[in-house]
Chain A
Amino acid sequence: MKRPALERVLLAHGSGGRLTRELVEGTFVPALSNPALDALGDAAVLPELPPGRPALTTDGFVVDPPVFPGGDLGHLSICGTVNDLAMAGARPLWLTWALILEEGADGELIRTCTNSAAATARAAGVQVVAGDTKVVPKGRGDRIYAVTAGLGVVPPGRRVADDRIVPGDCILVSGPLGDHGATIMACRHGLVGEDLRSDCAPIHRLVETLFDAGVDVHALHDPTRGGALAVCHEAATRCGHRFVLEEASVPIRASVRAVCDVLGLEPLGLACEGRLVAWVPETEVSRAVEALRQTPGGGEATVIGRVEVRDGDRLPLVMETEVGSTRPLDLLSGSDLPRIC
């Protein structure tokens, strides 16, 4: 018998009764289907891990609005989880996907997010093997939140960590910065134009590309919340060296810059959801950039700065400005950008 399509989320969809089952078996399982999930056990029982060290991550997604140019919360939640694994040098394998739905949420929104999560997982070569659904009373949540976990494996011999960054390393990015953060902020303020689109995408293949090209990648970060500014500041502080970014080389789209000018935001502090920042030896940087540029999602890869010895009381992170001066880059204060991911 064909089930009626989910129209609106009711509290009963989270009660564990018939409606829960209909939602799980009618919406989630068909979209995300794979043997481990389809068994619908209390826990997914997985094949043995490939050789290497397991990597495990967890993340929550509360973006407002849940659908935006370039993606939606479903797509974002898979990308975010896959990317966190990839930044540890891991090959992502399995994900869990739990939804917290608000009573009254539009069924179409739930289907849209589920289908795009499924499509993104398929395209990324990962499986969603377990899930959960909870419904909170109207007003206690905002339509749809997702919580994920991700399991992957770091292949033998690979170690990506901030403590491997050394003076002489180059800092490169896989594409323009701030697209996601600017798009979300623009959506909220009715500023969206055709030129703005979230960069939300899985980036684990870009990482594999670097290793395939024989690049000794020292460290990787995805500049999500806090943007490139936060990841560079954190990595510089951790490794004890000084990062010098070149303002003229930092790729920021004109449309993103325009949103920043209107809303008074620092573009380097805006989130990306489909970019990586990599620290690689100077001797390998042109090979790294070339490899990225030939891989989908890396076409605009470029070097944005370098790692220097940090003497005495000099700052961990500075920017050489376009006009030829130097300024410190510090973490942003306050919460300009709530709920961007």
Chain B
Amino acid sequence: MTPRDPYRDPKTAAGLVQRIGAASDRLQRRATFMEVCGTHTHAVAAAGLRRMLPEGVRLISGPGCPVCVTPVDYLDRALALADLPDTVICTFGDLMRVPSSHSSLERARAAGARIEVVYSPRDAVARARFAPSTRVVFLGVGFETTAPTIAAAIAEADADGVPNFLVLPGNKVMPPPMAALAADPELGVDGFLLPGHVSVLTGWNVFRFLADVHGIPGAVVGFSPTDVLRGVLELLEQRIRGEATITNLYNRAVDADGNRVASALVDRYFEPATVTWRGFGPIPGSGLVLRAEHAHRDAGLIDVEVPDPVEPHGCRCGEVLRGSIDPPECSLFGGACVPDAPVGACMVSAEGTCAAWYRHRLHETTV
């Protein structure tokens, strides 16, 4: 049976909560920390951590859920591609239920579009290999964590001579939107819980600008409850000391420089570009597009008619993604917009901020 997980130990957790309470008292003001990564949002909710933290610590969620920040016109384009003859769309499952302007991948599939869920981009390459006359388009969304797997899939398609495997590039990188958040005076973030998985790939050095340029502390943390609590304590203590540094508390997985092999693979196929984030608009250098020499893999270059994007009326996902409101402040939350019938993208994925708040009743003190 499962051996007791040291990162979930109740005594350790209780000790950390107590120290967080004492530190929060010493700081003598409310501190706002942002967890940037959707997996953190989910982990914090699943362990019930918010209800353990003192009043003086406010956790807000950032733009770290990949399907949430994918703009609606990306989905519109994917659906337009799905209408082409001899074309199959392959996608990560999270994207299926995200509303597009007029439909969703899930609804389009039910209506007959050829859309398949895969767990790995390589499954889409295999799909293309066995159906040479079919164009297989993989919806390449995600952050630094999925980019290497998509690059590896293209490399595999190149090596094996699979010309009918294409990617609709939608990958994004975290530092540019975080710079935007750090520079936003209204948001007033006192510290960042930095994304553990992304940092495995990038190394923690890429986040130094938060402390060096913006004077905001950061802690790279893992995904177990005590990892997150340690991160909160570290950020509080830095604030008390008036310091701002980037501390790596996830050194069992993360180092300063990251995975250079993976980065080199990504660089071979992709280059940074200005792309649009839901809730932020266009951010320079925040997206990955295919390099010109790989244009034959780029499904974004296929000429299809894409409707003018329509954002759902009343949806405040954009403000949720910037951390400027908590989900219950949106009038659709829990009424017109629920996980079974999402209006906005943040209510779809388990890692979406609204879905986490709704499923875990984060706006209620007792459950």
Contact = CB atoms under 8 A, between A and B. Distances in A.
Interface of A: 176, 189, 248, 251-254, 257, 263-264, 300, 314-315, 318, 321-328, 330, 333-334, 336
A323 B367 contact: no
A315 B367 contact: yes
Interface of B: 1-3, 5, 8-10, 13-14, 45-49, 51-52, 93, 96-97, 119-120, 225-226, 339-340, 350, 359-361, 366-367
B119 A327 contact: no
B227 to A, nearest CB: 11
A251 to B, nearest CB: 6
B350 A325 contact: no
A322 B10 contact: yes
B366 to A, nearest CB: 7
B1 A300 contact: yes
A327 B361 CA distance: 8
B4 to A, nearest CB: 8
B197 to A, nearest CB: 12
B52 A323 contact: yes
Contacts of B46: 321, 327
A314 B366 contact: yes
Interface centre among A189, A251, A318, A333, by most chain B C-beta atoms within 10 angstroms, is A333
Contacts, number: 74
A315 B361 contact: yes
Contacts of A326: 48, 51, 366-367
Contacts of A330: 359
A93 B58 CA distance: 59
A263 B132 CA distance: 28
A321 B225 contact: yes
A334 B1 CA distance: 30
A194 B45 CA distance: 32
B52 A324 contact: yes
Contacts of A264: 350
Nearest to B350: A264
B114 to A, nearest CB: 14
Contacts of A322: 5, 8-10, 47, 225
A264 B367 CA distance: 25
Contact of B2 (A252, A328, A333): A252
Nearest to B97: A334
Given A321-B225, A322-B225, A251 B47 contact: no
Nearest to A262: B119
Contacts of A333: 97, 339-340
B3 A323 contact: no
B105 to A, nearest CB: 12
A322 B14 CA distance: 11
A324 B8 CA distance: 9
Nearest to A251: B1
Nearest to A324: B10
A204 B170 CA distance: 52
Contacts of A327: 45-48, 360, 367
Given A314-B366, A333-B340, A325 B1 contact: no
Nearest to B123: A189
Contacts of A315: 361, 367
A254 B2 contact: yes
A176 B2 CA distance: 10
A315 B339 CA distance: 17
A171 B350 CA distance: 27
B48 A325 contact: yes
Given A176-B1, A314-B366, A323 B49 contact: yes
Given A252-B2, A327-B367, 8 more contacts: A189-B120, A264-B350, A321-B46, A321-B225, A322-B8, A323-B10, A325-B52, A333-B340
27 contacts: A176-B1, A252-B2, A253-B2, A254-B2, A254-B3, A263-B119, A300-B1, A315-B367, A321-B47, A323-B9, A323-B13, A323-B14, A323-B225, A323-B226, A324-B10, A324-B13, A325-B47, A325-B48, A327-B46, A327-B367, A328-B359, A328-B367, A333-B97, A333-B340, A334-B93, A334-B339, A336-B93
B304 to A, nearest CB: 27
A253 B1 contact: yes
Contacts of A251: 1-2
Nearest to B12: A323
Given A324-B13, A328-B359, A318 B367 contact: yes
A195 to B, nearest CB: 12
A324 B1 contact: no
Contacts of B226: 323
A248 B13 CA distance: 14
Nearest to A263: B119
Nearest to A322: B8
Contacts of A253: 1-2
A299 to B, nearest CB: 11
Contacts of B361: 315, 328
B225 to A, nearest CB: 4
Contacts of A328: 359-361, 367
A63 to B, nearest CB: 18
Contacts of B3: 254
A324 B359 contact: no
A321 B9 CA distance: 10
A253 B3 CA distance: 9
Contacts of A323: 8-10, 13-14, 47-49, 52, 225-226
Contact of B48 (A176, A263, A321): A321
Contacts of B340: 333
Interface centre among B2, B51, B225, by most chain A C-beta atoms within 10 angstroms, is B2
B2 to A, nearest CB: 5
Given A176-B1, A251-B1, A330-B359, A325 B51 contact: yes
B51 to A, nearest CB: 5
A254 B13 CA distance: 22
A318 B9 CA distance: 20
Contacts of A248: 10
